[in-house]
Amino acid sequence: MPERYRSIIDVHVILPRGDEVLLLERQGTGYCDGMLHLPSGHLDEGEPIPHGAAREAREEVGVSIDPADLCLVAVVHHRQREDLARVGLFFLAEKWSGEPVVAEPDKAGKLVWADPRVLPSNTIGYPAEGIRAWLEGNRLALHGWPTS
């Protein structure tokens, strides 16, 4: 019998301002440094999903979000490599308090406000897929999986 499937759960926060969304330039992490990503991170053990998303936004960009104000807009099943997949939950935060800043300068170089319909070429594919799913109204997207 196959082993029960287990996956890493990622939480991503889409912070819109006008016609743009907030992205962070990764640096010093060893993963996709120099590329852009949404405020995001791993869900902690025992943590409710919306609370994890609000926590990551606070830790990475210094804004406070009431978890009740987060709206789940997309789920992405991301295959990072053949032996590692993760489930990404993408939340829209239309209300928050505070001005976004680089709150973890050891992990992010700068903030970038970008048009979500025309993301910068250095946006990581995984969050770009979640943004695309949100814009197109697709609640579930696959990323990195074989197409056949």
Helices (H), the chain: 49-61, 125-136
Of 9, 139, 24, 29, whose CA–CA distance to 85 is shortest?
A: 9
Q: What is the 3-state secondary structure (H, E, C) of 74-96?
A: EEEEEEEECCEEEEEEEEEECCC
pLDDT of residue 98: 97
- DSSP label of 97: B
Q: Would you say 103 and 59 are in contact if contact means Cβ atoms under 8 Å apart?
A: yes
Note the maximum CA span of the chain.
51
Neighbours of 21 (CB within 10 A): 23
Convert the pLDDT of each residue in 121-141 to its tens digit.
999 999 999 999 999 999 999
Segment-wise mean pLDDT, segments of 10 residues, the chain, 148 residues: 84 98 94 95 95 98 98 94 89 97 95 98 96 97 86
pLDDT of residue 148: 66
Q: Would you say 134 and 86 are in contact if contact means Cβ atoms under 8 Å apart?
A: no
